[in-house]
Amino acid sequence: MHIDIILKFLIALAIGALIGTERERKQLNKSEFAGIRTFILISLFGIISAFVSQYYPNFLIISFLGLIVLVGLSYMASTRDGEDIGITTEVVALITFVLGALCYTDEGIRIAPIFAIIITALLAAKSYLHGFVRKISEKELINTLKFLIIAFVILPLLPDQTIGPLDVFNPYQIWLVVVFISAISYSGYIAMKLIGAERGLGVTGVIGGLVSSTAVATAMASRVRESELIIRAAVFAVVIASSMMFLRVLFEVAVINPDLISLLLIPMLSMGMVGVLLGILAWKITETKEFNPDIELKNPFSLKPALIFGLLFIAILFLSKIADIYFGSSGLYIASIISGFADVDAITISTALLAKTTISQEVAVTAITLAAISNTIIKFFIALFFGTRKFGRSIGIIFALIITAGLIAILFV
């Protein structure tokens, strides 16, 4: 019991020292409200106040109010000459008190260090953040608000349940697809602003492919339509994202039905490795003499392609359900191909489960591979129709080689 209390006090001390160290560094340039010693004391004052409040319930509130008065007087004294020195340190001092107090609770001691690290990182990145904000245009700010509205206002209001015929239309899940594609598109734009167009889109492809390579393809196609000067990075992003999909399928099967891994390893790794190699090759040989690193895209927030894909996703869900109803288990391959048009994860998980009871491992592996291939094909059509002919042609050539590798690998299953 006493050891737990000592640990809590030590964590509170560490939080004060962490934040105080960053504030102490700022004192090299100008006078600040507090340094490392003061912040350690403020954090300890918080946890001591929380401890004493067990016996005197109002002590924590009185202590916090007293700190507010002390911080306010210090700020008034610092600005009496009319100089505006900001109020960041004073606000952080109050937050440090709260974090120290949180350390006394069993739940708070888990989250207080996390917030302390985040706060310290934000304080240390002051010049970087200020520089980034100055680069944001009014249009980019408005588009950011649009994305926040569709993600955090509209999405939570939609019902998370199937409605309508065949029980496949789920408004929440459909809109979640729209939100995710928009997020991929917008995060790619932000990455371009931060680290450059080519590298930004490349990183977006790798990360986005771990969740939805189809969303990456849709987002990149819309970017290329705005400017073909980023086509090399967009092709790389889509190909690498698709390669990540094959690895994601392997991971899902390993969790659901590990017995399939030995058979599925050949087709998935074949397509994945071929995709990675071709993506890197396309990056190296694509002509980029006319590339402009300062290129500006017309629309940071591409909602229209996401909405179009959402409608396509709904249509494919209905087709998949109809195929399952009318063909049953004998139509598993057809259902896999149709399901792969919309989502490879759902058919992968369901087929891996069926392989435990009703279908053979060979049939399951073939069905999953066909789903991955059909998903690759639909991404080609997305690149062709949502992007440009040149973009679609580049993606098509690479995807044809990937699919060929997958079909050949099936022969060895």
Model confidence pLDDT, tens digit, residues 349-395? 777 777 777 677 887 888 888 889 998 998 899 888 888 888 888 89
Give the pLDDT score at 251.
82
Indicate whether 345 and 358 sit together in one domain.
yes
For 231-278, the pLDDT digits (tens) are: 888 888 889 888 888 888 888 788 778 888 888 888 899 898 998 898
Indicate whether 69 and 13 sit together in one domain.
yes
Instruction: Tell me the angle at which helices 171-195 and 304-327 cross, rounded to the nearest 10 degrees.
Output: 140
Indicate the number of domains in the chain.
2
Indicate whether 113 and 170 sit together in one domain.
no
For 327-339, the pLDDT digits (tens) are: 655 567 787 888 7
Indicate whether 180 and 85 sit together in one domain.
no
Residue 196 has phi, psi (to 5 degrees) of 100, 155
Indicate whether 142 and 118 sit together in one domain.
no
Q: Which of 79, 111, 132 is the last residue of a domain?
A: 132
Instruction: Give the dihedral sign, CA 360/363/368/371.
Output: negative
- What whole-number distance in Å separates Cα of residue 40 and Cα of residue 213? 47
> Would you state the structure tokens that stand for residue 12, as one six-digit string?
């509170």
One DSSP character per residue, 158-198 reads S--S-BSGGG-B-HHHHHHHHHHHHHHHHHHHHHHHHH-HH
182 neighbors 147 (Cβ within 8 angstroms): yes
Task: Give, in order, the Cα–Cα distances in Å from 362 to each of 210, 283, 330, 356.
Answer: 26, 36, 14, 12
The three-class DSSP label of residue 255 is helix
Q: Tokens 């009318």 label which residue?
A: 326
Give the pLDDT score at 49.
94
Indicate whether 254 and 349 sit together in one domain.
yes
Task: Report residue 293's pLDDT band, with 50, 70 and 90 as the boundaries.
Answer: very low
16, amino acid identity: G
Which residues fall within 8 angstroms of residue 96, CB to CB, at 6 or more apart? 15, 16, 19, 39, 42, 43, 46, 116
Give the pLDDT score at 14.
93
Give the pLDDT score at 252.
79
Q: How many residues comprise the chain?
A: 413
> Would you state the structure tokens that stand for residue 41, as one six-digit string?
């004391």
- What whole-number distance in Å separates Cα of residue 33 and Cα of residue 24? 10
For 158-184, the pLDDT digits (tens) are: 998 888 777 767 888 778 877 876 776
Q: Which of 132, 162, 179 is the last residue of a domain?
A: 132
Q: Which of 72, 103, 132 is the last residue of a domain?
A: 132
130 burial level (CB within 10 Å; 0-12, 13-18, 19+): exposed
**Burial 264-295, CB ≥16 within 10 A → b, else e:** bebbbebbbebbbebbeebbeeeeeeebeeee
Indicate whether 316 and 389 sit together in one domain.
yes
Indicate whether 123 and 153 sit together in one domain.
no
> Would you state the structure tokens that stand for residue 39, as one six-digit string?
């912040």
For 194-225, the pLDDT digits (tens) are: 665 556 666 766 666 666 777 788 878 887 88
The three-class DSSP label of residue 315 is helix
The pLDDT of residue 290 is above 50: no
Q: Which domain holds residue 338?
A: 136-410
Give the pLDDT score at 29.
47
In this prediction, residues 15-20 reach a mean pLDDT of 92
The pLDDT of residue 92 is above 70: yes
225 neighbors 387 (Cβ within 8 angstroms): yes
Instruction: Give the dihedral sign, CA 288/289/293/294.
Output: negative
Give the pLDDT score at 291.
43
169 strand-pairing partners:
163
pTM of the model: 0.56
The three-class DSSP label of residue 12 is helix
Indicate whether 71 and 104 sit together in one domain.
yes
Indicate whether 104 and 226 sit together in one domain.
no
Indicate whether 68 and 202 sit together in one domain.
no
Give the pLDDT score at 320.
57
Q: How many CB atoms lie within 10 A of CB 413?
A: 15
The pLDDT of residue 94 is above 50: yes
Task: Report residue 62's pLDDT band, with 50, 70 and 90 as the boundaries.
Answer: very high
Indicate whether 265 and 162 sit together in one domain.
yes
Mean pLDDT of the chain: 80
Task: Report residue 321's pLDDT band, with 50, 70 and 90 as the boundaries.
Answer: low
163 strand-pairing partners:
169
